[in-house]
Amino acid sequence: MKKKLSRAQPANARVRPPRRRLFRMTTLAALFALFALYVAWHEAHGPDARRDGELPITQVHADDTSQPAASVAVSGGDLVRRGEYLARAGDCVACHTADKSRPFAGGLPINTPFGTIVTPNITPDPDTGIGQWTDADFLRAMHEGIGKGGERLYPAFPYAEYTKVTDQDVLAIRAYLNTLTPIHYTPPPNSLKFPFNQRWAMVFWNMFNFTEGRFVPDPKQSAEWNRGAYLVEGLAHCAECHTPRNFTQGLKSDSKFSGAVQAGWHAYNITPDKNSGIGTWSDDELVAYLSTGAAPGRANAAGPMAEVVNDSTQYLTKADLGSIVTYLRSVPAISGGETRPRDQWGNPANDVTTLRGTKINGVNGAQLFVANCASCHSWTGQGVGASAPGAYPSLIHNTAVGASDANNLALVILRGVKRTTKQADILMPAFASQLTDDQVAAITNYVTGQFGNPQSTLTVDQVAALRTQQ
């Protein structure tokens, strides 16, 4: 028997679904459309996508870089040697070593505006290191900034640059790390305040500061340029120190390589600008600086840059160093406001004759310089040993002395210099325990006034702040 129709509902009427059901259907359709768009985008632009005109990246070899080859798989001892070379190019040991007797075991505290991040153990120890990581885990960490357990990694680990490194090179580094002596050591935990201790929040940081994807060579550029771009923008992650940061601590893309301050040290402008950057340096001077830490008449590496030379760039081949220089020559020149190159300041001093027989009252920069610095740098400031590998450098035509801020000079006085390369073992003693803040300020201001940029001065309070920097 047919069911009777309601009087209020004609026979040809359509039953309307409840609003809630309609909303759900619309929402699901929208989500499905968004998912489809994401899949299409990922296929076109994701890390596995092959762009038109993409060329294979030239390899950097641990044993023979004179013959660039296409990116091909290697195995056994060659793979490990290649991985060691690439790990040096990435300077992995610098951040993952707090105690020299425990290389790669982590524990190094990295201070950020949001708290302290402590680097992890990357030795093959199965309990405290990466011994139980699969190759896929390692690739994901390097390329996406995601750890073995799915946790978001903090960008103190430069995955924003490492994402550009090819799978083959990442796995070569992994093969090398597998050969290290396992060290059973659990570094201290991070010390980050809420909400910065919430790793999931890195999703939002990545939205503004991270683009995943491998390096794509430019077919319009030379193989040398492409290799330099691959190293500078990827493994060597030069921008991490030499680029100012935005309020999220991401890199300012419009100021790339224009210089920045890291833990008190000024990582200088490395764009081709002729006053603020490296525009007046020759290729040979730049290669010499990266391989030895010294370019006479230009600069001598100290602080973090000395460590980079110690642990990384001195081991790179001449071909790779030349490629880095070629690429840096091509980046946009950015002026830092300097009116003349940092290495074009200064004149020899004759204060030692003026001081003879003179009664000194209070803190006197010239007197302190003669007493503490002249034995190595000469009382004229011209150094001792000229351009020999172990020379005591001249303070005239010296980028640290002619800079627009005197931070690096004061930090060198406080902490000294230790730089060991194949050419020389450079050691300048630290004076932090021998000199007071006002004495360090007096020497700094005397040196910049006589041998460098006279407008670059430091106060006692500024020296005290630098002394506390880690």
Using the predicted structure, report yes or no on whether residue 17 has a pLDDT greater than 90.
no
Using the predicted structure, report yes or no on whether residue 8 has a pLDDT greater than 50.
no
Over the stretch 137-182, which tens digit does the pLDDT of each residue have?
Answer: 999 999 999 999 999 999 999 999 999 999 999 999 999 999 999 9
Handedness of CA 93, 95, 96, 97 (dihedral sign): positive
pLDDT at 26: 54
pLDDT at 32: 46
pLDDT at 390: 81
Q: CB under 8 Å to 127, separation ≥6 — which residues?
A: 184
Residues 412-432 have a mean pLDDT of 94
Q: CB under 8 Å to 453, separation ≥6 — which residues?
A: 342, 345, 401, 402, 403, 404
Q: Is 72 exposed, middle or buried (0-12, 13-18, 19+ CB in 10 A)?
A: exposed
Using the predicted structure, report yes or no on whether residue 31 has a pLDDT greater than 80.
no
Contact call for residues 335 and 274 (beta carbons, < 8 A): no
Tell which residue, 169, 144, 168, has the closest CA to residue 86: 169
Share of the chain above pLDDT 90, in %: 72
pTM: 0.82
How far apart CA 31 and CA 12 sit, in angstroms, is: 33
Over the stretch 312-335, which tens digit does the pLDDT of each residue have?
Answer: 999 999 999 999 999 999 999 999
Residues 191-195 have a mean pLDDT of 89
More confident residue, 52 or 141: 141
* Predicted confidence band of residue 353 (pLDDT cuts 50, 70, 90): confident
Neighbours of 402 (CB within 10 A): 25
pLDDT at 16: 47
Contact call for residues 293 and 309 (beta carbons, < 8 A): yes
Over the stretch 198-255, which tens digit does the pLDDT of each residue have?
Answer: 999 899 999 999 999 999 999 999 999 999 999 999 999 999 999 999 999 899 999 9
Put the strands of the sheet holding 115-118 in their side by side order: 109-112, 115-118, 191-192
Q: CB under 8 Å to 87, separation ≥6 — which residues?
A: 93, 173, 176, 177
